Chains A and B, each alone.
Chain A
Amino acid sequence: MATTTAAVTLTSDLLSGSLSVTGTSTLMKAGTTADGLDQMRMGINEVPTGTSFDLLDATTAGIDKANKVYIANLSTDTSYYVIIIIDDKTVGRLYGGDWMFIPWNMDDATHDLEVTSYVGTNKIQWVKFHEGETLGTSAD
């Protein structure tokens, strides 16, 4: 079984008492603890401003699965940001230095994960852990 571990730590002195939240999960296929996610895509892209781009295309093989997506904005200027959109619904703004980790259910073919860059060209790193995707047929 492929074993991939995702761990998060949230710490803060914002409150009167210290905050320390940790979460660790082994990335499993949907509905099982015996079979881990065994496929992945990974990349780094420089995203220019002015256009909304499909970072990851939804595929029918990804419907109702336990796919996970990690995105980090590698921009060092904290005023730079990308807006994350799933199927025309804005999730939020990922500023320079920020990261996110979400489950991604491609519940229909238009459930693409999109990014739009603002202020300047943002450099983002991403990883998609999944349990299957529909590969496009070669056109030539």
Chain B
Amino acid sequence: MAITAAITLTSGANDLVTDALALSTSASLTQAGNTTAIANTSGLARKTTSAAAAGNIQAVTLFRGEDATADGANKVYIKNMSTIAAEYYTVHIDGEELGRLYAGDWAFFPWRAHSGTGSTFTVTIAGSWVAGDTWEFDGVTATATNTTESDFAAIIDATNYPNWTTDHAAGETTVTFTNRRAGGLTQSVPVTADGTKSSSSGTAAITLAAIGTKAESDITVRPSVHTTMTMEYMLFHE
């Protein structure tokens, strides 16, 4: 497996400078610090942006810090497909402006991919639960099949949550949730409010174990106009 990235920068004699300029470089994209080829890619993607009004133009997140190995030899390619000269995308890394990609411009650069950490909390199943009782969180409902608390904890663990991953040890009554995205909660109240139980006597106490830290390398682009613009982008990562 190999990935090759090549660039040529050219300008004719007596054009930009008196002599012709011809720079070319070709790189095999390898993992950090060795010669093993990078093995993962997002694939080439295309996205069209637009906003209802100029005042409502929002940045679009292309890649999140947790999408790649932190401090790896990751590479990002972005191209503005617009043909209207004044239209540009402003490229940001964690809110810091890199630069403007005007119509037809492209960029290729290494990416740090600082991931941050997801917030975590635990839910503890206790009290009297019966078959058919439910616990709802993140828009998903888990249903108890018997009165054994650890069995219900296992069911909660086996349920798929769109925004959280879970961890549970066999026989235990606690389940640990970890946010799939970095950052997130700053206090336990939102989580407590989100867990809804149907049992009148069983409890599902939630405690916050750790507050997440935000990723410091999300790549976002902001279109310059509210009318339709299109870009292509791609990530090669470890």
B217 within 8 A of partner (CB):
yes
Partner of B112, one of A21, A93, A101: A93
Residues of A49-91 at the interface with B, using a CB-CB cut-off of 8 Å, are 64-68, 70, 72, 78-79, 81, 83-84, 86-91
Chain A residues whose CB sits within 8 angstroms of the CB of B200 once the complex forms? none
Chain B residues whose CB sits within 8 angstroms of the CB of A70 once the complex forms? 7, 9, 23
A109 within 8 A of partner (CB):
no
Asked if B3 contacts A14 (CB within 8 A), the reply is: yes
How many residues of B are in contact with the other chain, CB < 8 A?
68
**Shortest Cβ distance from residue A17 to the other chain B in the assembled complex, whole angstroms:** 10
How many residues of A are in contact with the other chain, CB < 8 A?
63
| Residue from A21, A37, A100, A111 whose CB has the most chain B CB atoms within 10 Å | A100
B107 within 8 A of partner (CB):
yes
Q: Given the complex of chains A and B, what is the CA–CA distance between A17 and B42 in angstroms?
A: 14
Chain A residues whose CB sits within 8 angstroms of the CB of B109 once the complex forms? 84, 91-92, 100-102
**Shortest Cβ distance from residue B15 to the other chain A in the assembled complex, whole angstroms:** 6
Chain B residues whose CB sits within 8 angstroms of the CB of A9 once the complex forms? 4-7
Q: Given the complex of chains A and B, what is the CA–CA distance between A90 and B30 in angstroms?
A: 20
**Shortest Cβ distance from residue B177 to the other chain A in the assembled complex, whole angstroms:** 30
A25 within 8 A of partner (CB):
yes
A11 within 8 A of partner (CB):
yes
In the complex, what residue of chain B is closest to A32 when comparing beta carbons? B85
- Chain B interfacial positions (CB closer than 8 Å to A): 1-12, 15-17, 21, 23, 25, 27-30, 32-35, 37-39, 41, 43-44, 71-75, 77, 79, 85-86, 88, 90-91, 93-94, 96-114, 217, 232, 234
Can you spell out 11 A-B residue pairs with CB atoms less than 8 angstroms apart?
A: A10-B77, A31-B86, A65-B100, A78-B34, A86-B98, A90-B114, A101-B108, A102-B99, A103-B91, A105-B98, A127-B9
- Chain A interfacial positions (CB closer than 8 Å to B): 2-15, 19, 21, 23, 25-26, 28, 30-33, 36-38, 40, 64-68, 70, 72, 78-79, 81, 83-84, 86-95, 97-105, 107, 111, 125, 127
